Structure 1
Amino acid sequence: MAFLELADLRVKYGNIEVIHGINVRVEEGDIIAILGANGAGKSTTLLTISGLVKPSGGSISFRDAPIHRFPAHTIVKLGIAQVPEGRRVFGTLTVRENLNLGSFVSKDKQAISKTLAWIYELFPILSERREQLAGTLSGGEQQMLAIGRALMSRPKILLLDEPSLGLAPLLVMTILQTLREINRSGVTIVLVEQNARAALKLAHRGYVLELGNVVIEDDSAALIANAEVQAAYLGGGIA
């Protein structure tokens, strides 16, 4: 069994099926990129892994546990955390209060303190602004906070939905470099990202979704070299 496996996964919204029996394997230590146009089913796939959307068929296994049957809070406790699209920080709470919310699965104060110190090391600006209201942060700082909040649960798998959305290119590079560092610390990453070139340069493997189906899967280098992927997602050429 893979570390995380989606087998013949199907998802419906009402009577409309939006994910049509996809198969995805994630090995421990991987960075996996999920690519596709708007409406391809990328975000729905992450939400279903997180337990926020229930599948209509198929299964999701994490370390052999059938997590598609579990509620979202149990999935977090097992070690899967999501950074949602649009950041969704609590604007009327401080940076520190937002981070504290991410640690709800742990009662070990020493471990929480250690994790918080690690997050401040990853994102020094969050340490500088720990008493600042999250709603007053820049978009990039809010994205760092959203990632930090998810890391407070010490996940084994981190799911990220469009972390570069709306950010300046230089800041996107900083965020992606930090994700590589997080991965090197032992966190497996599943990344949904419109910036296909940046995602594939970061990831080990990738899946391309079209209208709820996996149409291409391969390692990142092969996807970057794939003429179809180049034409559809990489502007027709290789950087």
Structure 2
Amino acid sequence: MLLEIRNLHVTYGNVKALHGIDLTVEQGEIVTILGANGAGKSTTLMSISGLVKAAQGTISYKDKELTTLRAHNIVKQGISQVPEGRRIFGTLTVQENLNLGAFTLTDKEKIAKNQEWIFSLFPRLHERRQQLAGTLSGGEQQMLAIARALMGSPELLLLDEPSLGLAPILVKSIFATIREINKSGVTILLVEQNARAALKLADRGYVLEVGRIVLEGKAQDLLENREISKAYLGGAG
């Protein structure tokens, strides 16, 4: 098991965001977490990457407990997060953003190899590498956010709403690239409002409602589930 979450509780002040969730991710999988706004999806990802602290429960990655580690040390374990809303550094160039993504690596050859691979995934970023990141289009900024996370050679990539605010044609392109990244050997945990696209991409899925997992299963089974279809896919069945 690559990632195993057991009985995870997260609290913001007096508000309970997660009520004892259990979740697993196997090496090589794409797993998606679905749910309405405020269900606890982003909180789950931020707990894994150490940006919010667990009140209770365990998060183990390759049998190593993460809840005691600080965020930068979790990145060193091989976990990178692409945050919701991209959060690129707008006043830095594309190249400078990518350089920051490689902060945990010391092997220059490895960094160069990663960058070469990233530019093959996102040729547009290669063209724009000396451009200020803040002047990129929304789609290009999303590409940069993913590319920056990949610069650290993660084994597990946490993606938070990669299609948010993008035109349908760009969403298709981003999802095709996510599949390519996965085929290269990177395991992916994906939070996504576009439930249909996420389930078509994923191997398995979890449905979160108000901080609790209410359904889990193979992505295909969830796609065919009438309740899921009604609640998240805009259909009756």
Equivalent residues, number: 237
Q: Give distance in 1, aligned partners of 2:16 and 2:142.
A: 31
Are 2:116 and 1:117 aligned?
A: yes
- Deviation of 1:15 after TM superposition, in Å, equals 2.2
TM-score (norm 2): 0.99
SS of the aligned residue for 2:153 comes to coil
**What is the aligned partner in structure 2 of residue 62 from structure 1?**
61
**What is the aligned partner in structure 2 of residue 31 from structure 1?**
30
**What is the aligned partner in structure 1 of residue 231 from structure 2?**
232
Q: Give distance in 2, aligned partners of 1:145 and 1:17.
A: 33
Residue-by-residue CA offset, 1:42-73 (whole Å, 9 max, x unaligned)? 00000000000000000000000001110000
How many percent identity over aligned positions? 65
Q: Give distance in 2, aligned partners of 1:18 and 1:230.
A: 25
Residue-by-residue CA offset, 1:125-151 (whole Å, 9 max, x unaligned)? 000000000000000000000000000
**What is the aligned partner in structure 2 of residue 162 from structure 1?**
161
Runs of 4+, deviation exceeding 4 Å: none
- Deviation of 1:237 after TM superposition, in Å, equals 4.9
Q: Give distance in 2, aligned partners of 1:6 and 1:190.
A: 13
Paired letter, 1:184: K
Q: Give distance in 2, aligned partners of 1:232 and 1:165.
A: 19
Are 2:42 and 1:21 aligned?
A: no
**What is the aligned partner in structure 2 of residue 95 from structure 1?**
94
**What is the aligned partner in structure 1 of residue 4 from structure 2?**
5
Paired letter, 2:215: I
Paired letter, 2:138: G
**What is the aligned partner in structure 1 of residue 42 from structure 2?**
43
**What is the aligned partner in structure 2 of residue 186 from structure 1?**
185
Paired letter, 2:90: G
Are 2:138 and 1:139 aligned?
A: yes
TM-score (norm 1): 0.98
